């Protein structure tokens, strides 16, 4: 006989319900829900964000209710609204579960339909402490005196506040379980704000009863809500920021304020008065006149931004209204303050720096693409345009976005999309806070599947057929944060572009005055010209103009973060116009986000690079990332040098050969300077790359000139010819602004007349100098032979024998010191090495340098310190000749070489950094002293290179505090925008290094 298949039970089991706890089946049996009649309850339970938590809490609630459980059980079976609220509440929040178990009869309050109004909330919280209206001369509609003011009031108020909070949370969450209405974000925020107002009104009533026991309240005290509470967009768990205004601001007013804060913080939420004038260091209460005086004289931009959300909430509302009326005109004129733009930029950087790097992608409030991005952008636009447009005088973020869109300051679609993303992120923030009634803004970690599953269900995410609820949540988080990031740029710049290019025929357009105001607030010092550049870039009806209009919102935002957005925008226009026929350019910017961002950083930070990029545009393609990292780091100096020599060798005409070498040098300078400015190369790598390309161009030029000379003569060269690098070229430590210090040496070939050979060599040297120093579109190549014997009065080229004779008989101590950095760099390698062998006996004398020579070097150093510094230069911040600057470090290293190189062969080295390494390894100086010298050399070189990047020409003097110093700091890798901090760091390092220098030279 065949047995019929077992029918599937109509009552779902714990597995189908998603219950994971081992005790789940037993718990359902205890509730008597594991039957046909209980099916609606079971499926509703399964929809709770955390069904196991909900079931556990219901078991606890049943135990707490005892025989009264039957009433709740009956209600749950018949009232779907109650079922939705209760199951959603206890499945979302362990904190509210505990609250219900502690007072199990409170479940009945969840049967209420609709939320209490503001007046009802105030009455309920006041009723908890038997408060009555205050009487006397300072009585008002929001000033009460509590009948109960003992220690027990905190518990009474906390319980009443939690009851009201629970009712809101239950109605807010109910739609996740049953088909209940979804409470809009603004309704939730406003109700939470009304509840906070009621709570602090009750706290103030207790404060009045405690401080003014035997007399009517003798002062007028207004409580001003700030931040989210002021804007009526409060969170479930949030600090409530307040400011007090009192008449008079005496000790009684201060005690009332302090008592109110103490009660409020103990019973409801953290009450914070840190936004008051002077912050926590300032007086807790001030008179209205005192507030006005502070904001007129001392307030910073962020304080006016905070006042945007100020709202009288309780206490003396008339005084509160006077406070707002007096201060708001100052708020709307804040954007005209001279420090408005740098203050705004600094605020943004500070907020970003508050978030640890490992939490930025999980941080809803302060991360990139977060709530703060939306709020900050909206407030900035309000400050910029609110001075002339009263329609923007609103407090809430959503209301402000709506007003900005209605008035044409923000695109309508952008405002709608940004509002949707903002409300979604706030929803997640609310759900996270409800779980344990803790203040948090951080999403669960990626590997916290349980946490993400709970959040997805609490946020009413549902599977979409391709992804489960968690997958849908992750997708929505990513989509909304990316949208906020994208719209953050468009919010500022799209309306500007609408005003100069017709992107959308239906869009409202900023007027010229509004466009200028907006550009000025975004950091453009000359907004009229900036607007002209935008018109030029997006003008006409060409496809390129349309692409530019789509790219520019993001490009301009990146430019706005650079030290000089005006120069950057002009440079971008020049680059774009120079590449107007290159189809790849805009395509790279559109398709490669890294290319576009890096290009804006470079153009807004450097006066040195734009001309190089215009003449070497292919470098821009190297801003992209390759499989192994940024393409800018791909080429190696030796490969670049080989390419320069090969390219120049193709031409018989030395002018064309030198032009080819200089063209490739231009590309390499653009690559190295770009990588340096973007923080991809450290100082030693920059110096090595710059020196290598200089040597290659010198070698290519020398070969081309000799080749042409031999063709003209119809005979081989009469002499071997070598170029000896001196100074920073000899040490392979060139910077952007360095000249090439050299010595030219020749050696007549057998059978050649020495006089004619030397004359020929001088002609070769002069032609090399002339070709390399000729004006060009790239930075000049000055070949300087001033360190030759007898200086500029001596022969430009000498024979090897002449050099040997001179140095043996006439070498001065400073010349011996200069020879420490001599190294073969170009020309005949064998001759160059022979020259080095000749001078080795001079620069590394047996037994070391004489005491007399050391004394002479010290004397010369003292003279250099006192006489060589340019007129008007600051000795503390001159990177070359200043205190602890390059000259100090290099002279110190060279003195150590003169003293010890005869016994330490490793000091036969032309590099300052490598010689410092040897000095440390051989214990010739303490490691700490060597490290100070090394740090000073590196930071001075970095600063000197940054000066060239920013100014576009060689400079050794750091500027005084101000925009240019901030730009130099930025180019030197100090990206926090604080030029003063960079300068302090520079002076601290060089000052300590100068102490080492003085010890070495003094000993």
**pLDDT tens string 602-615:** 999 999 999 999 99
Q: Please give the pLDDT value at position 349.
A: 67
Q: C-alpha distances in angstroms, 527 versus 332, 382, 512, 534, 950?
A: 20, 18, 10, 10, 21
First vs last Cα of the chain: how many Å apart?
A: 112
Q: Are 691 and 733 in contact (CB under 8 A)?
A: yes
Scanning the structure block, which residue is given the tokens 């103990």? 266
The percent of residues in the chain predicted with pLDDT above 70, rounded, is 96
pLDDT in tens, 654-691: 999 999 999 999 999 999 999 999 999 999 999 999 99
Q: Which two tokens stand for residue 879?
A: 């990177």
Residue 539 reports pLDDT greater than 80: no
Residue 3 reports pLDDT greater than 60: no
Pairing state between β 719-725 and 629-630:
unpaired
Burial 624-645 (b: 16+ CB within 10 A, else e): beeeeebbbeebebeebbebbb
Nearest to 419 by CA among 146, 713, 598, 184: 184
Give Cβ neighbours of residue 230 (< 8 Å, ≥ 6 apart). Answer: 224, 241, 309, 310, 311, 313, 395
What pairs with residue 744 in β-bridges?
723, 797
Q: Lowest mean pLDDT: which of 194-203, 374-383, 642-651?
A: 374-383
The pTM of the full predicted model, rounded to 2 decimals, is 0.78
Nearest to 886 by CA among 939, 847, 929, 962: 939
Positive or negative torsion for Cα 863, 868, 871, 877: negative
Q: How confident is the model at residue 6 (pLDDT cuts 50, 70, 90)?
A: very low
pLDDT in tens, 273-293: 999 999 999 999 999 999 999
Nearest-angstrom CA–CA distance, 302 and 306: 6
Q: Lowest mean pLDDT: which of 128-137, 202-211, 475-484?
A: 475-484
**If you average pLDDT over residues 843-869, what whole number do you get?**
86
pLDDT in tens, 451-508: 999 999 999 998 988 899 999 999 999 999 988 888 877 777 777 776 665 545 455 5
Nearest-angstrom CA–CA distance, 61 and 44: 17
**If you average pLDDT over residues 614-639, what whole number do you get?**
92
Burial class (CB in 10 A: 0-12, 13-18, 19+), 184: exposed
pLDDT in tens, 332-372: 998 888 778 777 767 766 666 666 766 777 888 877 788 88
Q: How confident is the model at residue 8 (pLDDT cuts 50, 70, 90)?
A: low
For the chain, the average pLDDT equals: 92
Nearest to 253 by CA among 218, 277, 298, 228: 218
Nearest to 861 by CA among 816, 818, 892: 892
Nearest-angstrom CA–CA distance, 798 and 806: 10
3-state secondary structure of 820: coil
Q: Are 166 and 93 in contact (CB under 8 A)?
A: no
Nearest-angstrom CA–CA distance, 312 and 242: 9
Q: Lowest mean pLDDT: which of 40-44, 253-257, 529-533, 926-930?
A: 529-533
Angle at 705 between CA 701 and CA 710, to 5 degrees: 150
E strand or H helix that includes residue 798: strand 797-799
What pairs with residue 144 in β-bridges?
133
Burial class (CB in 10 A: 0-12, 13-18, 19+), 471: middle
Nearest-angstrom CA–CA distance, 849 and 957: 34
Burial 93-127 (b: 16+ CB within 10 A, else e): bbbbbebbbeebebbeebeeeebbeeeebbebbbe
Nearest-10 Cα torsion for 936, 938, 939, 943:
130
Burial class (CB in 10 A: 0-12, 13-18, 19+), 713: exposed
Q: How confident is the model at residue 1 (pLDDT cuts 50, 70, 90)?
A: very low
E strand or H helix that includes residue 238: none
Q: Are 271 and 157 in contact (CB under 8 A)?
A: no
Q: C-alpha distances in angstroms, 555 versus 333, 551, 572?
A: 28, 6, 10
């Amino acid at each position: 006989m065949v047995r019929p298949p077992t029918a599937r039970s109509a009552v779902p089991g714990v597995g189908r319900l998603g219950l994971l706890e081992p005790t789940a089946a037993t718990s359902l049996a205890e509730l008597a829900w594991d039957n046909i009649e209980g099916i609606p309850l079971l499926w509703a339970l399964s929809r709770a964000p955390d069904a196991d938590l909900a079931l556990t809490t219901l078991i606890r609630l049943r135990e707490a209710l005892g025989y009264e459980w039957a009433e709740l059980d009956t209600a749950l079976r018949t009232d779907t609204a109650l079922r939705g609220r209760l199951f959603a509440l206890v499945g979302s929040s362990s904190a509210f579960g505990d609250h219900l178990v502690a007072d199990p009869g409170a479940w009945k309050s969840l049967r209420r339909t609709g939320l209490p109004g503001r007046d009802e909330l105030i009455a309920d919280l006041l009723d908890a402490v038997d408060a009555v209206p205050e009487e006397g001369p300072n009585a008002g509609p929001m000033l009460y005196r509590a009948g109960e003011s003992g220690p027990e009031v905190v518990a009474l108020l906390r319980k009443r506040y939690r009851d009201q909070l629970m009712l809101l949370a239950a109605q807010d969450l109910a739609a996740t379980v049953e088909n209940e209405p979804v409470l809009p974000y603004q309704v939730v925020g406003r109700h939470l704000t009304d509840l906070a107002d009621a709570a602090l009104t009750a706290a103030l009533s207790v404060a009045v009863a405690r401080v003014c026991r035997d007399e009517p309240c003798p002062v007028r005290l207004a409580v001003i809500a700030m931040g989210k509470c002021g804007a009526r967009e409060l969170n479930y768990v949030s600090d409530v920021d307040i400011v007090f205004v009192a008449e008079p601001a005496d000790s009684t007013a201060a005690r009332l304020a302090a008592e109110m804060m103490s009660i409020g913080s103990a019973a409801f939420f953290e009450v914070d008065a840190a936004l008051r004038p002077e912050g926590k260091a300032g007086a807790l209460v001030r008179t209205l006149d005192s507030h006005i005086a502070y904001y007129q004289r001392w307030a910073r931009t962020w304080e006016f931004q905070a006042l945007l959300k100020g709202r009288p909430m309780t206490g003396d509302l008339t005084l509160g209204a006077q406070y707002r009326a007096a201060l708001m005109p100052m708020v709307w004129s804040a954007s005209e303050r001279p420090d408005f733009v740098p203050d705004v930029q600094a605020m943004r950087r500070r907020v970003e720096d508050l978030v640890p790097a490992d939490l930025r992608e999980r941080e809803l409030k302060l991360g990139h693409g977060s709530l703060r991005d939306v709020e900050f952008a909206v407030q900035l636009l309000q400050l910029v345009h609110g001075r002339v447009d009263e329609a923007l005088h609103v407090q809430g973020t959503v209301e402000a976005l709506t007003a900005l869109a209605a008035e044409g300051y923000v695109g309508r679609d952008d405002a709608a999309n940004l509002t949707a993303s903002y409300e979604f992120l706030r929803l997640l923030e609310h759900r996270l806070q409800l779980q344990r009634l803790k203040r948090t803004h951080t999403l669960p970690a990626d590997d916290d599947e349980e946490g993400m599953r709970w959040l997805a269900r609490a946020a009413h995410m549902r599977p979409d057929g391709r992804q489960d609820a968690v997958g849908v949540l992750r997708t929505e988080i990513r989509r909304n944060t990316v949208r906020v990031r994208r719209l953050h740029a468009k919010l500022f710049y799209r309306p500007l572009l609408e005003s100069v290019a017709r992107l959308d025929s239906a869009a409202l357009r900023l007027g010229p005055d509004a466009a200028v105001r907006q550009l000025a607030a975004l950091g453009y010092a000359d907004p009229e010209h900036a607007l002209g550049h935008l018109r030029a870039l997006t003008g006409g009806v060409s496809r390129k103009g349309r692409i530019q209009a789509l790219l520019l919102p993001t490009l301009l935002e990146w430019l706005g973060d650079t030290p000089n957005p005006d120069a950057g925008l002009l440079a971008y226009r020049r680059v774009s116009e120079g590449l107007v026929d290159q189809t790849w350019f805009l395509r790279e910017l559109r398709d490669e986000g890294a290319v576009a961002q890096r290009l804006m950083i470079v153009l807004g930070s450097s006066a040195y690079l734009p001309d190089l990029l215009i003449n070497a545009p292919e470098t821009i393609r190297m801003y992209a990332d390759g499989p192994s990292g940024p393409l800018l780091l791909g080429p190696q100096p030796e490969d670049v040098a080989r390419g320069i020599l090969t390219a120049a060798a193709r031409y018989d005409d030395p002018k064309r050969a030198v032009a080819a070498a200089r063209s490739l040098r231009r590309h390499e300078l653009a690559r190295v300077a770009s990588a340096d400015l973007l923080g991809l190369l450290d100082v030693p790598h920059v110096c090595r790359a710059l020196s290598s390309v200089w040597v290659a161009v010198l070698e290519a030029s020398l070969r081309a000139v000799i080749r042409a000379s031999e063709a003209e003569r119809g005979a081989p060269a009469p002499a071997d010819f070598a170029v000896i690098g001196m100074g920073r070229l000899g040490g392979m430590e060139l910077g952007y602004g360095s000249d090439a210090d050299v010595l030219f040496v020749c050696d007549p070939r057998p059978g050649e007349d020495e006089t004619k050979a030397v004359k020929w060599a001088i002609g070769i040297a002069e032609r090399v100098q002339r070709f390399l120093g000729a004006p060009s579109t790239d930075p000049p190549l000055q070949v300087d032979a001033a360190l030759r014997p007898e200086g500029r009065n001596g022969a430009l080229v000498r024979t090897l024998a002449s050099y040997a004779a001179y140095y043996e008989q006439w070498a001065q101590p400073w010349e011996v010191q200069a020879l420490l950095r001599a190294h073969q760099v170009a020309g005949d390698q064998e001759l160059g090495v022979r020259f080095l062998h000749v001078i080795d006996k001079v620069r590394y004398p047996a037994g070391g340098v004489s005491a007399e020579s050391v004394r002479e070097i010290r004397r010369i150093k003292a003279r250099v310190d006192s006489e060589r510094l340019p007129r008007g230069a600051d000795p503390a911040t001159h990177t070359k000749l200043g205190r602890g600057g390059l000259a100090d470090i290099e002279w110190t290293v060279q003195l150590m070489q003169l003293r010890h190189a005869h016994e330490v062969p490793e000091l036969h080295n032309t590099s300052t950094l490598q010689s410092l390494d040897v000095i440390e390894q051989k214990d010739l100086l303490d490691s700490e002293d060597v490290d100070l010298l090394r740090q000073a050399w590196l930071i001075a070189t970095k600063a000197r290179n940054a000066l060239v990047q920013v100014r576009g020409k060689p400079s050794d003097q750091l500027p005084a505090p101000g925009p240019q110093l901030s730009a130099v700091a930025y180019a030197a890798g100090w990206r926090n925008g604080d030029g003063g901090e960079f300068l302090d760091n520079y002076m601290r390092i060089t000052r300590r290094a100068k102490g080492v220098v003085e010890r070495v030279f003094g000993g």
